[in-house]
Amino acid sequence: MATALRSLERGTGEPPLFVHAKDGVQGIRLAWRELPDVVIADEIASRAGAFALARDLKGATEPFPGVIVILLERPQDAWLAEWSGADAWFVKPVNPFELVDTITASTSRIREEAV
C-alpha cells in the first residue's frame, strides 16, 4: 500500500509524507496538528475508530480541510462511512491503485475549490 501511495508524487510533484497514528485518538490529534492533505483511517482502529475520527474532523466548526478515506472491513458499513463525513471509503482488501486514483482526484478537487 505504501509503495502505491508513493506514486502520488507523480501527480503532486512532491513526495508524500507518511505519519502513523497508533489509534484514532492519536490520529485526530495528529490530523489537527499536521493538517495533512489526506487521512487514511482503518475502521477497526482502537480507541476512537475511523468513523469517530472522520466525524470529529469533518464535523468540527471549521471542518478539516483534507480528504478522509476509511478502510472498511464489511461493505455493510459504507453507510457509517458516509454518515461520518468521510470523503471516500474502500472495503478491504483495497486495490492500492484505486486508492491512489481516488486520493489524486479528491486532492485535486480540493485544491481547485481553494483557488
pLDDT of residue 39: 92
- Distance, CA of 28 to CA of 8 (rounded, Å): 23
Domain tally for the chain?
1
pLDDT of residue 13: 74
Tell me whether residue 115 is in a domain: no
Residue 36 CB burial class (10 angstroms; 0-12, 13-18, ≥19): middle
Tell me whether residue 72 is in a domain: yes
pLDDT of residue 19: 79
Residues of the chain with confidence (pLDDT) below 50:
none
Q: Containing domain of residue 36, as a range?
A: 2-110
- pTM of the predicted structure, to 2 decimals: 0.86
C-alpha grid cell, residue 26: 492519536
Whether the Cβ atoms of residue 103 and residue 67 lie closer than 8 Å to each other: yes
- Distance, CA of 88 to CA of 67 (rounded, Å): 8
When computed from its CA atoms, the radius of gyration of the chain, rounded to whole angstroms, is 13
CATH number at residue 42: 3.40.50.2300
pLDDT of residue 34: 93
